[in-house]
A and B are shown apart, each in its own frame.
Chain A
């Protein structure tokens, strides 16, 4: 819709410029408040953060010393950085590999024409609605080594003989965090996939059924093909979300035992605010952003190329 319909087209270039500014004035006025905030609170800190990554900055005096790419050179030699990087990728990838098929299964179940669907969906959303700090505290209790419910249930059914210290064993801490993360993220992923499923015309599925396609063929040829754009966006968003995970890890293990649950977000936080190296911390954050942007672009490109 055009903002203002012109009765006649002015010929004078000065008048043209005037009419253009008249036409754009409402847009500019409407966009101004949000844009100013956006520039001041999102774009400016973003650029400032990138600048800080090139400095050594003292958190008390806020004095900055420009060091060029020094922080990034330091990162290449930093063993803890490489550990955190590897574990962040493990965390995000394993999370998605397990969560996506589960979410698809739940979405398919919820897409069935049954009574009480909204109730199931509402109950399912509970972990997503629950503040992550509450979820972390609850899981700290469930996974407790001495009296945790998980240990009790697993010994009852005979899967383990003795109680396991899930969060303080170097080999089990990261897998435990992945499990908690999946529990928290599964509702979101299922509901988004469900919304995607609901856009598939039911005639299409019925036609395939009449043509004699079995359930697996229908899933592969009709459902997944239709769902692809939604799947791609969900994968990218969920990967970014998992990649940035902080709260759960900070509360449950704080990176430990040893470095076994150091993720980039945790390492960045500890560097900037516990070890008080704001510059190096910003450099770590900049690398996180770079990785996410590159992955998102590559991933979306690859998938959309297959469409051609």
Chain B
């Protein structure tokens, strides 16, 4: 065996890491690749004994059907309204609390934080029945507002925690400097802290959007009318109603549900990964 220099050993090592990662990621991405491949195949090429990765005659017929001949556009709109409403309200309401938790010390603070953290572990199943009764009493079953209320169960604790982390990362000294220069507390917050926290707040907003966008259980249980149905239960209804074997259209629906969040993620990867890991790493 020839003796390699340190630099060569490094190069070989890097090459092996690249090879390993490419193999792992190919395997992990295969389902998504297959989803796209199936979505652009004509029916004659889908349920066949010897499937091809690249369709022989690619077609957008399933896209046309799903986007123009089904209720999917309405589901998309409902999903968009509910997810952006939840995210917007959650960030607006929790940013004040997150600021307080980051900047002030008070006696109940550690209990407050502990409860916020543990509530993320609660099973949705636990909220399912009591919230159903609460919403029913206020006539909020079959309502997008009602669904937003249900989503607050995870969005409020989650956004509070994430935003607190972002406020923590902004040095207090900047605010103190503004205060000594004669600004009052609100001015310091508005002109110094908020602009600095803006990227973090935007990331939290989109993170909450992402979580609401993919929620299934609450949406499925609390919305029975097709008019207000969001995308995840909408897909399930179409899947369960026999369209399940119509894999071309099912894959198009999966694409339609996945693409918006993948785009969001692509723009915000850094922030989302940072937010995702903040809780676990700070522990």
Contacts and interface: CB of A to CB of B under 8 A. Distances in A.
SS class of chain B's interface: helix, strand, loop or mixed?
A: helix
A55 B229 CA distance: 31
Interface string A237-256: 10010011011001100000
A295 to B, nearest CB: 10
B18 interface: yes
Given A27-B106, A109-B17, A192 B281 contact: yes
A255 B108 CA distance: 43
Interface in B102-154: 103-104, 106, 112, 116, 118-134, 136-137, 149, 152-153
Contacts of A192: 276-277, 280-281
A187 B160 CA distance: 24
A131 B34 contact: no
Given A34-B97, A52-B129, A285-B129, A45 B153 contact: yes
Contacts of B99: 30
B168 to A, nearest CB: 12
Contacts of B59: none
Interface in B206-222: 210, 213-214, 216-217, 221
A149 B14 contact: no
Query: What band does the interface of chain B fall in when counting residues whose beta carbon is under 8 Å from A?
Result: 35 or more
A285 B156 contact: no
Contacts of B4: none
B269 A118 contact: yes
Interface string A189-229: 00110111001000000000000000000000000000001
A70 interface: no
Contact of A237 (B18, B35, B49, B121): B121
Contacts of A46: 122, 126-127, 130
Interface string B21-50: 100110011111011001000000011111
Contacts of B3: none
A76 interface: no
B31 A282 contact: no
B157 A195 contact: no
Contacts of A232: 283
Contacts of B247: 141, 144
Contacts of A237: 120-121, 280
Given A265-B125, A269-B125, A292-B123, A35 B281 contact: no
A237 B116 CA distance: 14
Contacts of A126: 28-29, 32, 262
Interface stretch (B65-73, B194-202, B248-256): B248-256
B263 to A, nearest CB: 10
A288 B122 CA distance: 9
Given A48-B130, A109-B20, A134 B235 contact: yes
Interface residues of A, number: 98
Q: Which of B121, B153, B261 has the most CB of A within 10 A?
A: B121
B172 A26 contact: no
B204 interface: no
A123 B262 CA distance: 10
A265 B273 CA distance: 28
Interface string A103-118: 0001001101110001
A198 B156 CA distance: 29
A49 B217 contact: no
A94 interface: no
B129 A282 contact: yes
Contacts of B153: 41-42, 45
A181 interface: no
Contacts of B279: 233
A33 B216 CA distance: 27
A247 to B, nearest CB: 5
Interface string A79-96: 000000000000000000
A30 B163 CA distance: 14
A121 B269 contact: yes
Interface string A35-49: 101100110111011
Contacts of A191: 273, 276-277
Nearest to A188: B276
B239 interface: yes
B214 A133 contact: yes
Contacts of B210: 129
A26 B13 CA distance: 56
Given A142-B34, A186-B28, A282-B130, A229 B257 contact: no
Interface string B78-111: 0000000000000001101111110110100000
A130 interface: yes
Interface of B: 13-14, 17-18, 20-21, 24-25, 28-32, 34-35, 38, 46-51, 93-94, 96-101, 103-104, 106, 112, 116, 118-134, 136-137, 149, 152-153, 156-157, 160, 172, 175-176, 185, 210, 213-214, 216-217, 221, 231-233, 235-236, 239, 244, 247, 250-251, 253-255, 257-258, 261-262, 265-266, 269, 273, 276-277, 279-281, 283
18 contacts: A26-B104, A29-B96, A34-B156, A52-B133, A123-B29, A124-B24, A125-B269, A130-B261, A131-B231, A140-B250, A147-B48, A152-B50, A192-B276, A196-B280, A234-B280, A268-B125, A292-B121, A296-B121
Q: Which 7 A-B pairs have the closest CB atoms?
A: A131-B214, A34-B97, A195-B277, A30-B100, A134-B254, A45-B130, A48-B130
